[in-house]
Structure 1
Amino acid sequence: MKPQSVHILGAGIIGLATAAVLIDRGFDVTVIDREGPGEGTSRGNAAAIAWTDVAPLASPGIWKKAPGWLLDPLGPLTVRPSYAFNILPWMLRFMQAATPSAMKRSTQAIAALNGLALPAWERIWERMAWSNHVRHEGCLDVFDKPSQLAEARGGWQSQRNHGMDVRELSGDELREMEPDLSSDVVGGAYLPGWLHVDDPYELCRDLAAYVMARGGSIMKGEAVSVARTETGAIVRLEEGHIIKTEALVIACGAWSKWLAAEFGDDIPLDTERGYNITVPVPGVSFRRFIMLPGYGFVMSPIARGLRIGGAVEFGGLKAAPNWQRVDALVARAKRIAPNLNADHGERWMGFRPSIPDSLPVISRASGGSNVFYAFGHAHHGLTQAAATAEILASLIAGEEPPVDIAPYRANRF
């Protein structure tokens, strides 16, 4: 029987988008989070709706770059020595996902989900009257090394093969579009379909307000145990409060692994620790989202200034931030934007929930109960949130989802 009440664990962008779609479909919705709407990883998101990005992190070519990255403790990809043993099982699965056949499957599945991403967001934004907070300026892929520019062309062609508009440009053409780019920039590409939001944190807060205005609830609390019941699920919170629900959605990002294990699902979920700095007065002005694939980070113009962030650090959920990684991001950004001044920026570190094949888990939990998963979106959380919400709403309502969810099932591992 179709449930009437749904509780969502996690008030990040995935959980809140899901709540907004469910409440518009008539469900009684409660979102539970230990911190509050958008206070976790979603707060420092780079703000892109990167629906044109269909390449998984695991690819045959990454092994040419990975050794050099791993030898640099401040590089685009690093593993903290104290976490090397913990991440080994994840890395072995990552190697399996990097074969040509596995990469092809992952690319197709990312493209299917991303194909739903923008229309799904536009439906939510229209209902929220939020479209004026979305910037349709496109994205620039920017390179200062000819060898990296040449390597990028294969990825651009893959995007074109999936129907995306990618226009290769010279260094001069890029500087014509963004005059603050360095004279060292040799070329890149323009992706006009890319867009980004004013501020992902404000989007989270506005989604929460939207849900509450329609009768939904947002409550603080930390789940310490979860279990199935004959009529749905039960959640015990840290302070002892017990919640019974007809349907439960687990959308806790990097903290979802142990909750899924309670329902018999062993998910190879780990966290990519991402760093950024948001500079209110950066000394440079960009209209478009700037991707620096050769350096593994981005520059995103948002309402609060310029956000510079990215890179991947595997170090778990407990280690203290290594703020030298932010200093390294700024130093590399100055190679591309020489007039950048990041002296008074706000530093931040968050936990991207990452699965080796670059695909999230969007499915019912094992055992056929009214427990559903929505986590593991890594770099595509903001991009895929609304699409994930529409898929989950269909599953919870007992309807056929808008895309084939086989690639995202929890039991695929």
Structure 2
Amino acid sequence: MSKGHVHIIGAGVVGLATAASLVQRGYAVTIVDREGPAAGASQGNAAAIAWTDVAPMASPGLWKQAIKWLADPLGPLSIRPAYALAILPWMLRFLAASSRKRVARSTEALVELNGAALPAWENLWRASGTHNQVRRDGCLELFDTDASLSDARSGWAEQRGYGIEVEELTAARLRELEPDLSERVVGGALVPGWIQVDEPKQLCLTIASWLESQGVHFETGEVAQILPRENGCELLLKDGSRTDVECLVIACGAWSRALAGQLGDRIPLDTERGYNITVPEPGVSVKRMIMLPGHGFVMSPLSTGLRVGGAVEFGGLSLPANWKRVDAMVAKARLFYPGLKTEGGKRWMGFRPSLPDSLPVISPASGHANIFYAFGHAHHGLTQSAVTGELIADMIDGTGPLIDPAPFRADRF
């Protein structure tokens, strides 16, 4: 007998993982999405379970680097002129979150959340039968200047302090691991605990198929309005249809802010637009994920080809894509892998739902006991999805939380 019926808005990886946790605890689940599973950022991410990445984007020294990047309109960080005024309040909050005290608090919260992320994924992989879609080859961080390599060492020391293994490697050793790498690299590190999935969209679709076999119902529709009731709420869809809901989870990524606002929660969610290209025959061998922190992009070998992607562009949800950003990333990637080919590559742009303090919202809605939030994971949506699902299920179940949920509450802003 069902413990209750939960509706989830959003069929990305966070919504799917939340449904998985709930259905295993005996809840009936319906997922509502305007397009279907993995139609947004969940299909185009870099495929990493980056639980070892515990540094918030906001940091005391980032602004010095950011100013350099902003000078290049095709660099790792850009703001579209038409969106500059709209993003200003978010940027001011980001600046406030960059103080040493705030960064320390955010880091502690990320260490806890990401520390539980991999065990949560191990549970989900076992339950859904997707453990065979996982690679455990680690990740290489590469640097092409002695200064950037030196700067990275303090971050590696902090990771080691949290029990995360980081092995610094010489340029010669890096080229032994990645023979097609150019002479440009001066050094780097291997993070062996980093985990990658074969192909993020396929992983989501396989989990969605398993959820259907467990009785989860998928509906296509766009929620226009949430009308709270004494016990639950009513969903009004854009096609005019209405649905009575006893318990609701909002997990629709970049589109979550407007729905939370209807419930009285003014959450400073905005979007970091990310770009990539996936090349089926890249002409070079990339054996594991490559991170290039000084240039703001990654190279990720997938079962469908090599994905070159990353960067941050603030431009909201409606401005057209600037595909020159993909060309700029490819040009930089060829400095490290000169033989890289892009013929037949598929370009993509997606929206990372981001909050100024680099922490997601995993929380009940303010003043609405049966409505919950699971969004704002920025660059770590895939990484943190399974643990987010477990935390939301804990809240709905009324059981003791896996970790302290206070840093992720909706009313912290």
What range describes the TM-score normalised by the shorter chain of this pair? over 0.9
Q: Which amino acid aligns with 2:218?
A: I
Residue 353 of structure 2 corresponds to 353
Residue 61 of structure 2 corresponds to 61
Structure 2 CA distance, aligned partners of 1:241 and 1:20?
26
Residue 375 of structure 2 corresponds to 375
The answer as to 2:48 corresponding to 1:48 is yes
Q: Any idea what SS the aligned residue of 1:249 has?
A: strand
The answer as to 2:247 corresponding to 1:238 is no
Residue 86 of structure 1 corresponds to 86
Structure 2 CA distance, aligned partners of 1:219 and 1:46?
27
Once the two structures are TM-superposed, the CA of residue 204 in structure 1 deviates from its matched residue by 1.1
Residue pair 2:234, 2:242 contacting (<8 A) in 1 also: yes
Residue 271 of structure 1 corresponds to 271
Residue 219 of structure 1 corresponds to 219
Structure 2 CA distance, aligned partners of 1:8 and 1:300?
30
Q: Any idea what SS the aligned residue of 1:218 has?
A: strand
Pairing 1:264-303 to 2, within 5 Å after superposition: 264-303=264-303
Once the two structures are TM-superposed, the CA of residue 344 in structure 1 deviates from its matched residue by 2.1
Q: Which amino acid aligns with 2:340?
A: L
Structure 1 CA distance, aligned partners of 2:216 and 2:3?
15
Task: Give unpaired runs (5+ residues) of structure 1.
Answer: none
Once the two structures are TM-superposed, the CA of residue 49 in structure 1 deviates from its matched residue by 0.2
Pairing 1:7-406 to 2, within 5 Å after superposition: 7-406=7-406
Structure 2 CA distance, aligned partners of 1:207 and 1:228?
30
Structure 1 CA distance, aligned partners of 2:227 and 2:55?
36
Residue pair 1:366, 1:410 contacting (<8 A) in 2 also: yes
Residue pair 1:49, 1:197 contacting (<8 A) in 2 also: yes
Residue pair 1:274, 1:312 contacting (<8 A) in 2 also: yes
With the length of structure 1 as denominator, give the TM-score of the two structures.
Answer: 0.99
Once the two structures are TM-superposed, the CA of residue 368 in structure 1 deviates from its matched residue by 4.0
State percent identity of aligned pairs. Answer: 59
Structure 2 CA distance, aligned partners of 1:344 and 1:179?
24
CA gap 1:256/1:3 in 2 versus in 1, 3 angstroms: farther
Structure 1 CA distance, aligned partners of 2:158 and 2:337?
28
Structure 1 CA distance, aligned partners of 2:175 and 2:405?
42
Larger CA deviation: 386-395 vs 340-349 = 340-349
Structure 1 CA distance, aligned partners of 2:249 and 2:227?
12
| Alignment length (residue pairs) | 412
Q: Which amino acid aligns with 2:325?
A: R
Larger CA deviation: 2-11 vs 64-73 = 2-11
Deviations 1:48-92 (A, max 9, x none): 000000011110111111111111110111100110000000000
Structure 1 CA distance, aligned partners of 2:25 and 2:145?
50
Q: Which amino acid aligns with 1:267?
A: I
Deviations 1:228-257 (A, max 9, x none): 111111111111111111110000101000
Q: Which amino acid aligns with 2:90?
A: W
Structure 2 CA distance, aligned partners of 1:227 and 1:399?
27
Q: Which amino acid aligns with 2:40?
A: G
Structure 2 CA distance, aligned partners of 1:122 and 1:93?
35
Q: Which amino acid aligns with 1:228?
A: P
With the length of structure 2 as denominator, give the TM-score of the two structures.
Answer: 0.99
Residue pair 2:364, 2:370 contacting (<8 A) in 1 also: yes
Q: Any idea what SS the aligned residue of 1:212 has?
A: helix
Task: Give unpaired runs (5+ residues) of structure 2.
Answer: none
Once the two structures are TM-superposed, the CA of residue 343 in structure 1 deviates from its matched residue by 2.7
Structure 2 CA distance, aligned partners of 1:402 and 1:369?
19
The alignment's C-alpha RMSD in Å is: 0.9
Residue pair 1:3, 1:246 contacting (<8 A) in 2 also: no
Residue pair 2:3, 2:28 contacting (<8 A) in 1 also: no
Runs of 4+ in 1 over 3 A off after TM superposition: none
